[in-house]
Amino acid sequence: MTDLLLLPGDGIGPEVTEQVRRVASRLANELKIEERLFGGASFDANGTPLRDETLAEAKAAKAVLMGAVGGPKWADAPRHLRPEAGLLNLRSGMEVFANLRPALCFGPLADASTLRREVVEGLDIMIVRELTGGVYFGQPRGIETLPDGGKRGVDTQVYTTAEIERVCRVAFELARGRRNKVTSAEKSNVMETGLLWREVVTALHAREYPDVTLEHMLADNCAMQLVKNPRQFDVLVTDNLFGDMLSDEAAMLTGSLGMLPSAAIGAPGKPGLYEPIHGSAPDIAGQGIANPLAAILSFEMALRWSLGRADLADKLFAAVARALDAGARTRDIGGALTTAQMADAVIEAL
């Protein structure tokens, strides 16, 4: 069985994924690692962003780590063959419904944030985003031509009780191991799915998690509160669309998108999907300046959540912290190290 399947993808994806391989070789060289084309690279080679064989290998592995997908090169490809469609199909095919996105501010990087140090120092939020439902997957969807020659675009936001309960259970369980507070964000004031979300979360909390503090917050207010007072949050759970936006906002509180990892998990025993939350960044691809820490920390999450090596995860996280304490920085966080040199600093700290 493959322990870790690497899907480097596009843009800076291959560059940061290569550093994960280097770190893994130093930290856990007993892992069986395989690599496959994915996203635009797979489309160019195979005519599809995700081959059936690659999906089957992903489902059979213990963990999957991808780099990033997409870029202007594939903007004119049919929507169902764009790199992003491959990513959605990978998430859906692996049945990873809960996306864990930590927003953690390392002490040495507090001044890299656009917010004041006293606002973000010590920040530690876990965002739990529902990943396989909502408006990204709902039907009907599409663009149709109207009789007058104009067009109408349709996307459908759909959620069921079961979809909401399973992702919120993940959030409540995580909170029990943290500061015991969950904030649920939706738009129950204007959206039927938001109203259902609030009702289901409230009932689940009363029935199974009364020991955890629960607060409800409208998603637009949540966006404001993340900037105003981010340290009020412990675990933040929300749907696919709002989670996509709020987690990117929270990422910038920490100083750089290049710092933050993510994990997508499903039912127990199923492989997880791990990825840095930054995009493919085609504007800097091939220059060797991308920050590899988000990818390296995604590997740290894979060690913890899918590979059963919390001891190695702790060791890797500590090494990243030591490298930053020693002043190691890529350009996005105020330094001049290359992608490989940043990984060198982590490897040395191991």
- At 158, is the secondary structure helix, strand, or coil? coil
Per the annotation, the verdict on 244 as an active-site residue is yes
Assess contact for 237 and 182: CB atoms under 8 A. yes
User: Residue 323: is it exposed, middle or buried by C-beta count within 10 angstroms (0-12/13-18/19+)?
Assistant: buried
Per the annotation, the verdict on 151 as an active-site residue is no
Per the annotation, the verdict on 209 as an active-site residue is no
Which of 248, 270, 315, 344 is labelled catalytic? 248
Per the annotation, the verdict on 159 as an active-site residue is no
Which of 159, 187, 234, 332 is labelled catalytic? 187
Which of 136, 159, 209, 274 is labelled catalytic? 136
Per the annotation, the verdict on 73 as an active-site residue is no
Assess contact for 223 and 127: CB atoms under 8 A. no
Which of 44, 211, 220, 311 is labelled catalytic? 220
Which whole-number Å values give the CA distances from 220 to 126, 188, 238, 242, 243, in the listed order?
Answer: 18, 11, 12, 9, 12
CA gap 36, 350 in Å, rounded: 28
Which amino acid would we find at residue 193?
T
What residues contact 40, with CB distance under 8 A and at least 6 apart?
Answer: 9, 10, 49, 69, 70, 71, 73, 74, 83
Number of residues written out for the chain:
350
Rg (CA), the chain: 20
Active site residues: 136, 187, 220, 244, 248
